[in-house]
Amino acid sequence: MEISADKVVLIHYTLKDDAGDVIDSSAGGEPLAYIQGHGNLVSGLEKALEGKQGGSSVAVSVVPEEGYGKYDQALIQRVPKRSLQGSGEVKKGMQFQARTPDGIRLFTVTGVMGDMVTLDGNHPLADKTLHFDVQVVSVREATTEELEHGHVHGVGGHHH
Ligand code: ZN
């Protein structure tokens, strides 16, 4: 079966940066399960996997525009510490979810100065070209329930 919209795909992957350093990998663990065509993966990787068969290997370099985006200065905000309610002491590196006009976005604290906190809403991998080595483990039809939930149940997916 080949990968197309609404198929459940299990992959093993290794993600490297331009320097060849491993950023993320499923090696040694469960494969990653996702539903093709639902934006579960960055668009450049979904595109590269479209039409591939179970058992095939895919090496692809994904540009930032089809990965985690270009770095956007507009996503850097300075807010009063008190606006981050219920979070206790605010430290560099902490992450908060915040509502933006584009939906929920994860912000990372990049600086604390007095009562002001600097938040960066860029993805940590923004501006990076992503080098993926992917092994397609299996491809199957999604169940109706999986399509309704928008995620995979069972091996590599959610268990509920
Ligand atoms: Zn579910």
Query: Domain limits of the chain?
Result: 7-68+127-149, 73-120
| pTM recorded for the entire structure | 0.81
For ligand 1, the distance from its centroid to the CA atom of residue 113, given in whole angstroms, is 42
| Residue with the larger pLDDT of the pair 151 and 101 | 151
Class of domain 73-120: mainly beta
**Residues whose CB falls within 8 Å of the CB of residue 70, separated by 6 or more in sequence, listed in order:** 64, 126, 127
For ligand 1, the distance from its centroid to the CA atom of residue 142, given in whole angstroms, is 12
For ligand 1, the distance from its centroid to the CA atom of residue 110, given in whole angstroms, is 34
**In this structure, what is the dihedral angle of CA atoms 101, 102, 108, 111, given to the nearest 10 degrees?**
-40
For ligand 1, the distance from its centroid to the CA atom of residue 144, given in whole angstroms, is 11
Q: What percent of the chain has pLDDT over 90?
A: 77
pLDDT digits (tens, 9 = 90+) for 43-68: 999 999 999 999 999 999 999 999 99
Q: Are 75 and 110 in contact (CB under 8 A)?
A: no
Mean pLDDT, rounded, for 80-94: 83
For the domain bounded by 7-68+127-149, which CATH number is listed? 3.10.50.40
For ligand 1, the distance from its centroid to the CA atom of residue 149, given in whole angstroms, is 5
Q: Are 48 and 58 in contact (CB under 8 A)?
A: yes
**Residues whose CB falls within 8 Å of the CB of residue 49, separated by 6 or more in sequence, listed in order:** 3, 9, 11, 36, 41, 58, 134, 136
